[in-house]
Amino acid sequence: MKTLEKVEQKIDDFDRDLKKLWVFVKDNMAASNEKTSKLESQVENVELSVGFAHDKLLSLEKENKQLRDSVVDIQARSMRDNLVWGGIHDDRNETQQQTEDKIRGFMCEVWRWTKRESTKYVLNASTEQGRFLTQIQNVKSSPNFHGFRKRRRSGS
């Protein structure tokens, strides 16, 4: 009978150890479930944040494109009223006022504008790398503006 008691004792010990192991597994499983729930919540928050960031990025890219287009439009409008002059002798030490006076004189002599017209339409002029840069306002509305035409060579 001693053998039977030993077997019973071993079974009881095994049962006790199995219960301890089961409690340990349950505790670890509960802790793992809790961590998993926290991680799932964090992943949802990150996904939501990424969605908002993506929407904001698209919005900023659209706004950036609109601003770039606006800058190009503004530059084009500004350049539309500028003329670059060639063939007029310039002095590197010349002041802006002297440059403007030279351009106005050219307009009066060559285009036959009045002094009043040349003063009215020329906003400013400067010399840059040997070229005259002049900003003209509403020059096409002048009755004496003929635009730039290519001259035909004689015999062509």
- pLDDT tens digits, one per residue of 41-83: 999 999 999 999 999 999 999 999 999 999 888 877 776 666 6
Per-residue pLDDT tens over the stretch 94-143: 787 887 787 778 778 877 777 777 666 665 555 554 444 555 544 444 44
Q: Strand pairing partners for 131?
A: 128
Sequence ranges of the domains in the chain: 1-80, 81-141
Secondary structure class of 13 (helix, strand, coil):
helix
| Cα distance between residue 147 and residue 150, in whole Å | 10
Q: Strand pairing partners for 127?
A: 132
